[in-house]
Amino acid sequence: MTDHALDCTRCGACCFGTHAKYIALLPEDRGRDIPADITTEADGRRYMAMAGGHCAQLCRDGDRLVCGIYENRPEACRAYRAGSFECSRARQHRLHLAEAMRLPIAIPGDGLDPPAPLVEPIAAAPETALPEAWALPPQGRFGRYEA
């Protein structure tokens, strides 16, 4: 069940993960414009590339966190429901990381870099051929939370 009281752009916890295989691409994703160069391959399957402890497509938009490929986000992300058990677990363990990215504490003169700008959504479809690994049967289809 979706919890409409939760605003995912004010959260972002479930886009954080430490494992390179956190977000697996599924056969349903073959028709989506997910460029191969924002994914990685491991053990014959493809995964969303991670960076900085979160999916590399997660980016700041003002004081929100948004998905840079929202319209083409993978099936695993679409199946992830706000207010679900997995959502609660992600918020319990990862919300502080998302908060740190969403609302960085700026102290004048501390030398910290300014917040990262919004990454432009990816408009073009990949020209590369669809990796064979995308057609493999899923293993743990929606198990993208690995705490």
Neighbouring CB atoms inside 10 A of 44's CB total 9
Q: Does 80 bind ligand SF4 (CB under 6 A)?
A: yes
How far apart CA 23 and CA 4 sit, in angstroms, is: 24
Can you tell me which of 29, 39, 45, 57 binds ligand SF4, judged by CB under 6 A?
57
Neighbouring CB atoms inside 10 A of 75's CB total 19
Residues 22-41 that bind ligand SF4 (CB under 6 A): 23
CB of 107 to ligand SF4, least distance (A): 27
Task: Work out the angle at residue 24's Cα, subtended by the Cα atoms of residues 18 and 27, and round it to the nearest 5 degrees.
Answer: 175
Instruction: State the alpha helices, DSSP H only, in the chain.
Output: 75-78, 85-102
Can you tell me which of 82, 119, 122, 136 binds ligand SF4, judged by CB under 6 A?
82
Can you tell me which of 24, 67, 97, 101 binds ligand SF4, judged by CB under 6 A?
67
Which residues of the chain form contacts with ligand SF4 (CB under 6 A)? 6, 8, 11-15, 23, 48, 55, 57-58, 67, 69, 73-74, 77, 80, 82, 87, 90-91
